[in-house]
């Protein structure tokens, strides 16, 4: 098993993909969209986030990232309407992935998003994004409550601890974990 690295995700980043995704979603009635994943993240790490978005999308998941799906939201002028849009996106998502990257600790939105979705469903997990090729990571405080996502043999896995895991697809579908 391996964690996602910053370099790997940045290598998947492409501004042309970002433009194509924005164009694809601009033509849809977005109020009715359902997502597999609400990707909670720090915008300061957008290259890694776009790489993760691409990785998950290539595996067939419909992923919500605010600045891709709703580019008209103004993150510098948050209103009640903005919060309501984000709430509706979270309500219409099967799961939440919390991208723990370099700037995640500075985000004011990430803890709110995690708490909101965790109160609604038990489908919240962490995506650790390391700077090095690490195979494990230390979670702080309340993040120890959540499983984490990693990859092995081109498959995504949710890990609860060193002996309990489930395929990411199974996890999203509500299946139970397996012991190794």
Question: What is the set of domains in the chain, with CATH numbers?
Answer: 4-136 (3.40.50.10140)
| 46-68 tens-digit pLDDT | 999 999 999 999 999 999 999 88
| 137-174 tens-digit pLDDT | 666 778 889 999 988 888 999 998 878 899 999 999 98
Task: Give the whole-angstrom CA distance, residue 95 versus residue 63.
Answer: 10
Confidence of residue 25 (pLDDT cuts 50, 70, 90): low
Q: Is pLDDT larger for residue 50 or for residue 1?
A: 50
- Biggest distance spanned by C-alpha atoms of the chain: 48
Tell me how many degrees the CA angle 84-90-91 measures, rounded to the nearest 5: 85
Per-position DSSP letters for 93-131, written without gaps between them:
EEEEEEEE-TTGGG-SHHHHHHHHHHHH-S-EEEEEEES
pLDDT of residue 97 exceeding 70, the answer is: yes
pTM, two decimal places: 0.87
Task: Give the whole-angstrom CA distance, residue 140 versus residue 100.
Answer: 11
| 62-88 tens-digit pLDDT | 999 998 888 888 878 888 999 999 999
């Amino acid at each position: 098993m391996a964690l996602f690295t910053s370099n790997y995700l940045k290598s998947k980043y492409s501004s042309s993909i970002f433009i194509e995704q924005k164009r694809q979603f601009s033509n849809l009635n977005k109020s009715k969209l359902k997502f597999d994943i609400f990707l909670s993240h720090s915008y300061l790490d957008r290259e890694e986030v776009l790489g993760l978005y691409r990785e998950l999308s290539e595996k067939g998941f419909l992923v919500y990232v605010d600045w891709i799906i709703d580019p008209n939201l103004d993150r510098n002028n948050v209103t009640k309407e903005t919060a309501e849009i984000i709430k509706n996106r979270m309500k219409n998502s099967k799961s939440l992935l919390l991208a723990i990257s370099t700037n995640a600790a500075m985000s004011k939105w990430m803890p709110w998003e995690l708490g909101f979705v965790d109160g609604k469903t038990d489908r919240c997990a962490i995506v650790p994004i390391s700077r090095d090729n690490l195979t494990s990571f230390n979670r702080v405080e309340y993040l120890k409550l959540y499983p984490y996502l990693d990859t092995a043999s081109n498959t995504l896995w949710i890990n609860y601890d060193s002996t309990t895991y489930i395929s990411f697809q199974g996890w999203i579908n509500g299946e139970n974990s397996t012991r190794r």
